Amino acid sequence: MPLIYDRVALIGLGLIASSMFWAIKRHRLAGEVTGYARTSATRETAREIGLCDRVCESAREAVEGADLVVLCVPVGAMGEVAQEIAPALKPGATLSDVGSVKRDVIAAVAPHLPEGVHFIPAHPIAGTEHSGPRAGFAELFEDRYCLIVPQEGSERDAVARLESFWQGMGALTEEMDAAHHDLVLAVTSHAPHLIAYTMVGVADDLRRVTDSEVIKYSAAGFRDFTRIAASDPTMWRDVFLHNKAATLEILGRFTEELFALQRAIRTGDGELLHDYFTRTRAIRRGIIEAGQDIDAPDFGRVKRD
């Protein structure tokens, strides 16, 4: 298969960018891959582990001559980075991102775009609780969805090329508009993360139950929350601040439902509880049938090589 892009620049070298690099190399999707990270420590780590063909000392240097530039920084930093690199973008290049929020990112990035650059936001729905340049692995995107959010006037060829690129890394691609993306992610990601952070925070705060007890007896359910509550704090702070409306809407719905179930517990309404719990099983089956999780009962996770 021919290269999809001659040169790709990755700005920000965390879990997503490092996974992209390994996937690009494994599947030979691009010629040179340049990279830039804000801190010299991250740039040094990247050089040490061979992450990127060339690690640059500035974002501008990294994007020079690139056919595809992917912003892989926290959502709150996208606008500033776009402003900095804008003058160095090659005419005809595609600028994309991997942020978990789309409306605010588009509003922050779009004003800086020079003429002749294709801006096509994207969001791979994949991640782990680990972060940083060492956390990446080539298989992260396999069988996961990558949502592509074309803008008014996005050229179809440029969109199709970006989709091929993500498909080349193993992802399934779908197009979606920014507002709907932000609502869907509020439900499937942002509200669940805030809830998990909250539950773990409550457990940590209780005086009458020690942290050691919480840890030892976590296999009873709590453990499932701690994985997502261990995600990168900066990334998640930015997600909540930049998808405020949709997240608060879903949390409002969540609180309403939680109160209804609490009342059922208080009044002893076993039938309501049983019906509710029966209904929620179906979604789990759907997720397994869709290949987004496996049905292994014992939670025996293993590392892939």
**Contact set for a copy of itself, span 60-89 (CB under 8 A):** 76
SS3 sequence, 201-255? HHHHHCCCCCHHHHHHCHHHCHHHHHHHCCCCHHHHHHHHHHCHHHHHHHHHHHH
How far from chain centre, in Å, is Cα 99?
Answer: 6
> Rule CB under 8 A: is residue 26 a binding residue for a copy of itself?
no
Q: Should residue 223 be labelled a site residue for a copy of itself when binding is judged by CB under 8 A?
A: yes
126 binds a copy of itself (CB under 8 A): yes
Query: Cβ of residue 20: shortest distance to a copy of itself, in angstroms?
Result: 15
Give least dist CB 13 to a copy of itself, A: 16
Q: Is 7 helix (H, G, I), strand (E, B) or coil?
A: strand
Q: Which three-class secondary structure state does DSSP give residue 32?
A: strand
Tokens of 26: 């494994």
Closer CB to a copy of itself, 155 or 224, in the complex: 224
**Phi-psi category of 65—alpha, beta or left, where left has phi over 0 and alpha has psi -120 to 50?**
left
Residue choice 38, 65, 128, 164 for contact with a copy of itself (CB under 8 A): 128
Please, are residues 232 and 16 in contact by the beta-carbon 8 Å criterion?
A: no
Q: Does 254 bind a copy of itself (CB under 8 A)?
A: yes
Say whether residue 108 binds a copy of itself (CB under 8 A): no
Query: Treating both helix axes as pointing N-terminal to C-terminal, what angle do 270-289 and 244-267 enclose, rounded to 10 degrees?
Result: 140
Residue 196 interacting with a copy of itself (CB under 8 A) = yes
* Residue 66 beta carbon to a copy of itself: minimum distance, rounded to whole angstroms: 28
Cβ proximity to a copy of itself: between 6 and 257 the closer is 257
User: How far apart are CB 234 and a copy of itself at their closest, in Å?
Assistant: 7
Instruction: Please report, for residues 46, 60, 151, 172, 258, the alpha-carbon distance to residue 132 in angstroms, rounded to integers and kept in the order given.
Output: 10, 21, 30, 24, 35
Please work out the total of residues on this chain that contact a copy of itself, with binding judged by CB under 8 A.
113
Q: Is 48 in the site for a copy of itself (CB under 8 A)?
A: no
3-state SS string for 63-76: HCCCCEEEECCCHH
Closer of 1 and 283 to a copy of itself (Cβ): 283
Q: Which is nearer to a copy of itself, 39 or 115 (CB)?
A: 39
Among 6, 44, 177, 257, binds a copy of itself (CB under 8 A): 257
